[in-house]
Amino acid sequence: MHDADGRQPALTDTHAHLSYVSERLGQRAIDDLAAAYGGSGAIVLDPGVDYDDYPSRKAAFGGLGFVRLAAGIWPDAESIVDLEARVASLEESVRDPGCVAVGECGLDYHWMHGDEGAQAALFSAQIELAVRYGKPLIVHSRDAHRDTLAIVRPVASSIPVIIHCFGYDEAAALEYAAAGCYVSFAGNLSYKKSGALRAACAAVPAGRLLLETDSPYMCPEPRRGKDATPLDIGRTYALAAELRGVGLDALAETVARNATILFG
């Protein structure tokens, strides 16, 4: 899968923190993305993590035709404490026509910046926004599969739910898919000890599959530990295609179609 110049064409990336990419790698990295993605038809979804980061991200990246923007609050300690005010502020961003999804938001029992109940309250408040405005929900879930599934299962039939940077096993992936969720895999799919992730990727139904970089994190092998951009996603596509026994072109079409359904 290469263009006439022998380069790999742009591939859909359903989760990339472009502001962090810019901070770490400079404007040149964004210019390189614009050159690669402009006019390609592929999209990059830039999620939110802070209650007030949407306006600056819209100003920086909203003019790039391949970028889709979301707004959400990651479960950090300050937002858990100041839930009502921050969710009220977030709602202004979610209402913006340029905001195509709510998130990333969810549960993180690894860093544990708040107890289970407090994290669930912040998560549920953002789910209510997604339902109210009819927008997809981008979910962060780390070491919290059972609680995440219990919270999203009742709403996955009403709004699209994306489990971003999926980090569990095949059984969990199939539970999310059965609930109606989309399951998104990142560059850690390529890491040596990620056998459970690879089995999950092979098993997820095509209509529920997404791929992402989570840039600037999760750079796929052989550049693990380096800062990633959406231009690194080709290695994840190549591995996922191998795992699923499909051609790279067919996989790219599948992910692009799913992303278009979700984000336009």
Give per-residue pLDDT as tens, 169-228: 999 999 999 999 999 999 999 999 999 999 999 999 999 999 999 999 999 999 999 999
In a domain, 1, yes or no: no
In a domain, 69, yes or no: yes
In total, how many domains does the chain have? 1
In a domain, 9, yes or no: no
Distance from C-alpha of 119 to C-alpha of 52, rounded to nearest angstrom? 19
Distance from C-alpha of 109 to C-alpha of 215, rounded to nearest angstrom? 22
Distance from C-alpha of 57 to C-alpha of 65, rounded to nearest angstrom? 14
In a domain, 140, yes or no: yes
For residue 52, the domain's CATH number is: 3.20.20.140
| Domain limits for position 34 | 18-263
In a domain, 139, yes or no: yes
What pLDDT was estimated at residue 9? 74
Residues of the chain with pLDDT under 50: 1-7
| Residue with tokens 């989760």, as numbered in its chain | 15
In a domain, 11, yes or no: no
What pLDDT was estimated at residue 8? 59
Task: Judge contact between 70 and 100, C-beta under 8 A.
Answer: yes
Phi/psi for 99 (5° steps) reads -90, 115
What pLDDT was estimated at residue 4? 36
SS (H, E, C) 120-167: HHHHHHHHHHHHHHCCCEEEEEECCHHHHHHHHCCCCCCCCEEECCCC
Q: pTM value?
A: 0.96
